[in-house]
Structure 1
C-alpha cells in the first residue's frame, strides 16, 4: 500500500495536468489552422498542414503592437505602484505603533469584501471629472488599490524576526534604513509573488479598461483584441480568434516561467509561517 500510494498520486497529478492542458493544446492547434479548413471541420486541427498565417494577420494589424505596448505600460506601472505602496503599508502595520492601527488594518481587510462592480460608477464619475479617462494614469490608478497586497506584505513582515530590527537599531540605523536595507531584502520572495499576481491581474483586466479607454489608441490588448473579434467565430475567423487568445497569453506565460520559483518559495514560506 505504501508503494502504491506515490504511484497513485503521480497518476492523479498527471491526469489533472492533462485535463488542464487539453483546452490550451486545443486552442494552440486551432490557431495553427487556416480558417477555411476549420469551417469544414475542427477535427482538421490534429492533421497537417499547419500555418502561422493567423499570427501574421495579428501582427499585420497596425494597432495590435500599440495595444500590446499599452498593456505593458499599464501592467508594469500597476505592478511597480502596488509593490511600493504595499511594502510601505505592510511595514507600517507590522512594525510601527500608531493610533488606530488595528482599526485601519481591519478597514483595509474590508476592502477585500467590496466587489469592483460596487464602486465602478462613482469611480467612473470621479475619473471623468478629473479628466483621467483615455490616459495611462486613468488605467493604472485603480489597480493600486490592493488590500490583498497590503495584507500579504503585512503578514510577511510580521514573520521576520524582530531581532533584526533591534540589532540594526543598536547599530544606529534609522527606521528608513531598517526598512530599506534590513527588512525589504528579506521580503523578495513575497514581492516576487505579489508582482506576478498583480501583473497577471492587470494584464487580464477587461472591465475597467473597457470603461475608461474609449479611444482605440488607449485600448489595452484585451480590449483591443475583443473589439476586433466581432463575429469571427460564427463566420470565417475561428483560427484567427484562437490565435488572438494565444498571442494575449504569451506574455503571461513568460512572466510565470521567469518567476515560478519565487512564487513557490513565497507560498511555501507563508504556509509554513
Structure 2
C-alpha cells in the first residue's frame, strides 16, 4: 500500500473520531458515579476516561424503573414494523414492477407523491382515526401507521425492475405460477434490498419519537426514545446524569449491533443498485 493511502486513512480517521466524541463521552459518563458528576468543578467529571469507574448506573437501570419495559416495547414495535414494511413493500413492489393491471401508472404516481408528503401532515387524521377505533395506547397503534411507506415500495419496485425478465420467463415455461415465482425466485434475489430496507426501517422505528408521543399516553406503552425523553425532561426527578447516560447507551446498543452484523447487505444492495443503474 502506498504512502498516500495511509495519509488518506489518517485524514478520514480524524473527522470520524471527532464525530464519535459525543458517543464516547456518553459512554464515559455512564460509567461514572452520580455524586462525582454532580460536582461540576471536578476536573475528572467530564473526561473521556471514566475515573472513578463504576457500573452502578447500569445495575440501577435494570433493577428499578420502567426502562427495561420501554426497551421491550421498542423491540416489539420495531420488529413488528419491520416485518410489516417488508411484507407490504415486497408484494407491492413486485406487483408494480412485474404485473399488468389497470391504472398501474397512476398507482406508481401516487406512491411517488407520497414521498413528498411530510409525515407530520397526516398526524391529525391518523390520531382521529385511531381514536375512533379505540386503538391508542396499544402496540398495533404504534405499528400499523408506519407499515405502508412509499420509500419502501419504491425501493423494491426499482430492484424488481432491474432483475432480468429471462429468469421469470424460464420459470413460466416450466409451468410455475406468478405466486411461486415471487416466493421462490424473486424474494431470494431481492435479499440484499430487503435486508437494506429492514435495517433502515428498524433504525427508523427504534428512533421514532413523534408518533409514539402522539399515540402513547400511558407510560406502559412508551418506547425507549419516549421514555428517555420523559426522564430527561424531568431531570430533577431522575436518578442522576450517569443513569440518564446509561439509558442512552442501552437504547443505542441494538441499532449499533444490528448495523455491524448486517452492514454487508447494505453494501451489497448499494453496489448492485449502482451497477444496474
TM over 0.5: yes
Q: Which TM-score band applies after superposition, normalised by the shorter structure?
A: over 0.9
Distance 1:268 1:240, change over 3 A: same
Shift of 1:75: 0.6
- Is the Cα–Cα contact under 8 Å of residues 134 and 215 in structure 1 kept in the other structure? yes
- 2:16 maps to what in 1? 17
- 2:218 maps to what in 1? 215
Paired residues for 1:241-256 under 5 Å: 241-256=244-259
- Is the Cα–Cα contact under 8 Å of residues 38 and 44 in structure 1 kept in the other structure? no
Paired residues for 1:1-273 under 5 Å: 3=2, 5-40=4-39, 41=42, 42-44=45-47, 46-232=49-235, 237-273=240-276
Shift of 1:221: 1.4
Deviation string 1:193-223 (CA, Å, 9 cap, x unpaired) is 1001001100111111111011111111111
Shift of 1:225: 2.1
Provide the aligned length of Structure 1 versus Structure 2. 272
User: Matched residues in 2 for 1:95 and 1:120: separation?
Assistant: 33
Give the TM-score taking structure 1 as reference length.
Answer: 0.94
Question: 5+ residue gaps in structure 1?
Answer: none
Comparing 209-218 and 224-233, the one that deviates more: 224-233
User: Matched residues in 2 for 1:216 and 1:235: separation?
Assistant: 15
- Is the Cα–Cα contact under 8 Å of residues 233 and 241 in structure 1 kept in the other structure? no
Question: 5+ residue gaps in structure 2?
Answer: none
Deviation string 1:151-207 (CA, Å, 9 cap, x unpaired) is 100111111111000000000000101111111100011111100100110011111
Question: Which SS does the other structure have where 2:52 is aligned?
Answer: coil
User: Matched residues in 1 for 2:238 and 2:169: separation?
Assistant: 68
Shift of 1:98: 1.4
Give the TM-score taking structure 2 as reference length.
Answer: 0.93
